[in-house]
Structure 1
Amino acid sequence: MLLCRVSAVSQTLARWGQRSHRGGGLLHRALSFSSSRCHGVSPGEGGAQPAETDSARSRYRDTVLLPRTDFPLKLTGQRLLDREVEIQRECGFADLYSWQRERKAKKEFCLHDGPPYANGDPHVGHALNKILKDIHNRFEMLRGRQVHYIPGWDCHGLPIELKALGDLGISGLSPLQIRQKARMFAEGAIARQKAAFQRWGVMADWDQCYYTYDGAYEAAQLNVFQEMHSKGLIFQGYKPVFWSPSSRTALAEAELEYNPGHVSRAIYAAFPLMTLPPKMASESASLEGVSILVWTTQPWTIPANEAICYMPNSQYSVVKRADSSQLLLMATERTANMAALLGTELQTVHTFTGSQLEGGFCRHPTVPDKEVPLLPANHVTMAKGTGLVHTAPAHGMEDYSVASQFNLSVECMVNEDGKFTELAGPELQNLSVMTEGTDKVISMLKECGALVKEEQCVHSYPYDWRTKQPVVIRPSKQWFINTASLKDKAKEALQKVRILPESARGSLLVMLDRRTYWCISRQRSWGVPIPVFYHRETGEALINKHTVSHIATLFKEKGSDCWWELPVEALLPPEVLKKSKAGPVTDYIRGEDVLDIWFDSGASWAAVLGEPDYRADVYVEGKDQLGGWFQSSLLTSVAVKNKAPYKSLVVHGFAVSERGEKMSKSLGNVIDPDVVINGGQDPSMPAYGADVLRWWVAESNIFSEVHIGPTALNSARESIIKLRNTLKFLLGNLQGFDPRTQAVDPKQMHYIDQYMLHLLRGFSIKVTDAYSEFDAGRVIRVLQAFISRDLSSFYFSIIKDRLYCDPEDSLGRRSCQTALEEILDGVTRSIAPILPHLAEEVYLHAPGHPEGETLFKSGWIKSSPVWRQPGLEEAVEGACAIRDSFLSSIPGKNAAQYDLTIAIEPGLLFELMESLQEEPTSTCSQLAELMMVARVNLTSELPRDLPSDALLNHGTFLINLEGGVIHEDSAYSIAVVPTSAARCPRCRRYTAESADCLCLRCQTIVSQT
Structure 2
Amino acid sequence: MLLCRISAVSQSVARWGTSVRRGALLHPALSFNTSRCQNVSSTEGTVHPAAAQGAGPYRDSVLLPRTEFPMKLTGQNLIDREVQIQQECGFAELYSWQRERKAKKEYCLHDGPPYANGDPHVGHALNKILKDIQNRFEMLRGKQVHYVPGWDCHGLPIELKALGELGTSGLSPLQIRQKAREFAEGAIARQRAAFQRWGVMADWDKCYYTFDGTYEAAQLKVFQDMHSKGLIYQDYKPVFWSPSSRTALAEAELEYNPQHVSKAIYATFALATLPPKMAEAVGELGSISVLVWTTQPWTIPANQAVCFMPNAQYSVVKRRDSSQLLLVATERVSSLATLLSTELESVGTFTGTELEGGVCQHPTIPKKEVPLLPANFVTMGKGTGLVHTAPAHGMEDYSVASHFKLSVECIVDEEGRFTELAGPELQSLSVMGEGNDTVISMLKAVGSLVKEEECVHSYPYDWRSKEPVVIRPSKQWFIDIASLKDKAKEVLAKVRVIPESARGSLLAHLDRRPYWCISRQRSWGVPIPVFYHKETGEPLINKHTVSHVTQLFSEKGSDCWWELPLESLLPPEVLKKVKVTDYERGDDVLDIWFDSGTSWAAVLGDSRADVYVEGKDQIGGWFQSSLLTSVAVQKRAPYKSVKYFLYLGVEKGEKMSKSLGNIVDPDTVIHGGEDPSVSPAYGVDVLRWWVAESNVFSEVQIGPNVLNSARDSINKLRNTLKFLLGNLQGFDPRTQAVDPKEMHYIDQYLLHLLRNYSMKMTDAYNDFGAGRAIRLLQAFITRDLSKFYFSIIKDRLYCDPEDSLGRRSCQTVLEEILDGVTRSIAPILPHLAEEVYLHAPGHNEGETLFRSGWIKSSPVWRRPGLEEAVEGACAIRDSFLSSIPGRNAAEYELTIEIEPGLLFELIESLQDEPTSSSSQLTELMMSSQTTLTSALPRDLPADALISNGSFLINLEGESNGCFGSVGGRTALELSNPQAAPFHWLHGVTLRNPMQPCLQVRTLEYVM
Scaled by the length of structure 2, the TM-score of the pair is: 0.92
Query: What residue number does 1:40 align with?
Result: 42
Work out the CA distance in 2 between the residues paired with 1:521 and 1:941.
Answer: 90
Counterpart pick for 2:954 among 943, 960, 963: 960
Partners of 1:900 and 1:974 within 8 A in 2: no
Determine which of 968, 971, 975 is the counterpart of 2:1006.
975
Counterpart of 1:823 in structure 2 is: 817
Aligned to 1:59: 57
Deviates more, 1:89-98 or 1:656-665: 656-665
Note the C-alpha offset of 1:431.
1.1
Partners of 1:958 and 1:970 within 8 A in 2:
no
Q: Which moved more, 1:965-974 or 1:620-629?
A: 965-974
What corresponds to 1:354 in structure 2? 352
Alpha carbons of structure 1 residues 20 and 545: separation in structure 2 relative to 1, 3 Å: closer
The structural deviation recorded for 1:346 is 1.7
**One-letter identity of the residue aligned with 1:328:** L
The 8 Å contact of residues 22 and 958 in structure 1, kept in 2 or not, is answered as no
Q: Which amino acid aligns with 1:540?
A: E
User: Separation in 1 of the partners of 2:933 and 2:489?
Assistant: 70
Give the 3 Å change call, closer, same or farther, for CA 639–41 of structure 1 in structure 2: closer
Q: Residue by residue, what CA displacement relative to the aligned partner does 1:903-939 show, whole Å, maximum 9, x if unpaired?
A: 1122221111111110111110000000000001111
Aligned to 1:653: 646
Change (3 A) 1:666 1:53: closer
Relative to structure 1, is the Cα distance of residues 859 and 671 closer, same or farther in structure 2, using a 3 angstrom cutoff?
same
**One-letter amino acid matched to 2:463:** W
The answer for the alignment partner of 2:663 in structure 1 is: 670
Contact kept, 8 Å, 1:956 with 1:969, in 2: the verdict is no
Distance in 1, matches of 2:841 and 2:802, equals 16
In 1, Cα distance between equivalents of 2:715 and 2:613: 30
Cα shift at 1:575: 2.7
Q: How far apart are 1:59 and its partner, in Å?
A: 1.5
CA contact (8 A) 2:168 2:176 kept: no
Q: Is 1:226 the equivalent of 2:224?
A: yes
CA distance in 2, matches of 1:189, 1:570: 33
Match of 2:700 among 706, 716, 731: 706
Distance 2:52 2:205 in 1: 63
- 2:575 alignment partner in structure 1: 577
- Whether 2:618 is the aligned partner of 1:625: answer yes
Assess if the C-alpha contact under 8 Å between 1:17 and 1:870 holds in 2. no
Q: Greater shift after overlay, 882-891 or 278-287? A: 278-287
Structure 1 pair 753–31 and aligned structure 2 pair: CA distance change class (3 A): farther
Q: 1:94 maps to what in 2? A: 92
Q: What is the SS of the residue equivalent to 1:975?
A: coil
Q: Is the 8 A contact 2:544 2:573 kept in 1?
A: no
Partner AA of 2:623 in structure 1: F
Matched residue type, 1:387: G
Instruction: Tell whether the 8 Å contact from 1:20 to 1:960 is kept in structure 2 after alignment.
Output: no
Once the two structures are superposed, the pairs formed by residues 613-762 of structure 1 within 5 Å of their partners are 613=607, 615-681=608-674, 683-762=677-756
> Equivalent residue for 1:432?
430
SS in 2 for 1:916: coil
For residue 944 of structure 1, what is the aligned residue in structure 2? 938
Displacement of 1:437? 0.8
**Any idea what SS the aligned residue of 2:265 has?**
strand
Q: Which deviations, in whole Å up to 9, do the C-alpha atoms of 1:157-201 show, x marking residues without a partner? A: 000001111344562100000000000000011011111111111
Deviation at 1:36, TM superposition (A): 2.1
Q: Distance in 2 between matches of 1:848 and 1:154?
A: 45
Asked if 1:907 is matched to 2:909, the reply is no
Alpha-carbon distance between aligned partners in 1 of 2:35 and 2:287, rounded to the nearest angstrom: 88
Query: Aligned residue for 1:592?
Result: 587
1:56 deviates by: 12
* Residue identity matched to 2:941: P
DSSP 3-state at the match of 1:952:
coil
Alpha-carbon distance in 1 for matches of 2:101, 2:52: 59
- Partner Cα distance (2:212, 2:345) in 1: 70
Matched, 1:931 2:928: no
User: How far, CA to CA, are the matches of 2:336 and 2:635 in structure 1?
Assistant: 51
Deviation at 1:705, TM superposition (A): 1.0
Contact between 2:265 and 2:452, CA under 8 Å: does it hold in 1?
yes
The equivalent residue for 1:982 is none
Counterpart for residue 562 of structure 1 = 560
**Other-structure match for 1:808:** 802
One-letter amino acid of the structure 1 residue matched with residue 599 of structure 2: S
Question: Corresponding residue for 1:23?
Answer: 20
CA deviations over 1:934-986 (Å, ceiling 9, x no partner): 0011111121112222211222222221225475445433334xxxxxxxxxx
Q: Which residue is equivalent to 1:333? A: 331
What is the Cα deviation at residue 618 of structure 1? 0.2
* Amino acid paired to 1:706: V
Give the alignment partner of residue 78 of structure 2, picking from 75, 80, 83: 80
Shift of 1:893: 1.7
Given that 1:960 and 1:967 are in contact with CA atoms closer than 8 Å, whether structure 2 keeps it comes out as no
Query: 1:709: Cα distance to partner?
Result: 0.8
TM-score, normalised by the number of residues in structure 1? 0.92
Identity of aligned residues (%): 77
> What secondary structure sits across from 1:359 in the alignment?
coil
Hey, what does 2:973 align to over in structure 1?
A: none
Q: Equivalent residue for 1:263? A: 261
Q: For 1:79 and 1:667, locate their aligned partners in 2 and report how far apart those are by CA, in whole Å.
A: 34
Structure 1 181/22 Cα, relative in aligned 2: closer, same or farther at 3 Å?
Answer: closer
Change (3 A) 1:666 1:542: closer
Q: Aligned-pair distance for 1:23?
A: 2.9
- Within 2, Cα distance between the matches of 1:471 and 1:54? 73
Residues in 2 aligned to 1:489 and 1:286: alpha-carbon distance in whole angstroms: 56
Unaligned runs of 5+ in 1: 1-12, 977-1009
Distance 2:1000 2:397 in 1: 76
Alpha-carbon distance, 1:685 to partner: 2.1
Q: Tell me the equivalent position of 1:387.
A: 385
Code of the aligned partner of 1:36? Q
Structure 2: distance between partners of 1:968 and 1:58: 55
- SS of the aligned residue for 1:254 comes to helix
Q: 1:840 aligns with which of 829, 834, 837?
A: 834
Q: 1:252 is matched with which residue?
A: 250
Give the 3-state SS of the residue equivalent to 1:973 in structure 2: coil
Give the C-alpha shift of residue 749 in structure 1: 0.7
| SS state at 1:906 partner | coil
Q: Higher relative contact order at CA 8 Å, sep ≥6: structure 1 or structure 2?
A: 2
Aligned length: 952
Question: Structure 2: how far apart are the matches of 1:877 and 1:397?
Answer: 69
- Quick one: distance in 2 between partners of 1:20 and 1:265? 63
Q: Would the alpha carbon gap of residues 31 and 729 (structure 1) be closer, same or farther in structure 2, given more than 3 Å must change?
A: farther
What SS is found at the alignment partner of 1:693? helix
1:267-286 to 2 correspondences below 5 Å: 267-286=265-284
Q: Give the RMSD, CA atoms, in angstroms.
A: 2.0
SS of the aligned residue for 2:1006 comes to strand
Q: How big is the shift at 1:795?
A: 0.1
Query: 1:308 and 1:169, CA in 2 relative to 1: closer, same or farther beyond 3 A?
Result: closer
Partners in 2 of 1:412 and 1:869 — Cα distance?
79
Counterparts of residues 133-172 of structure 1 (less than 5 Å): 133-169=131-167, 171-172=169-170
CA deviation digits over 1:205-237, x for unaligned, max 9? 000000000000000000000000000000000
Unaligned 5+ runs, structure 2:
1-9, 26-30, 959-995
Residues 167 and 738 of structure 1, relative CA distance in 2, 3 Å threshold: farther
SS of alignment partner, residue 36 of structure 1: coil
Per-residue CA distance 1:780-837 (angstroms, 9 max, x = gap): 1111000000000000000000000000000000000000000000000000000000
CA deviation digits over 1:346-405, x for unaligned, max 9? Answer: 222222211111000000011110000000000001111111000000000000000011
Q: Contact conserved, 2:51 with 2:59, CA < 8 A, in 1?
A: no
Residues 597-633 of structure 1 deviation map (CA, whole Å, 9 limit, x = unaligned): 000000000000013x3x1000000110010000000
Give the alignment of 1:237-248 within 5 angstroms. Answer: 237-248=235-246
- Deviation, structure 1 residue 426: 1.0
- What secondary structure does 1:144 align onto? coil
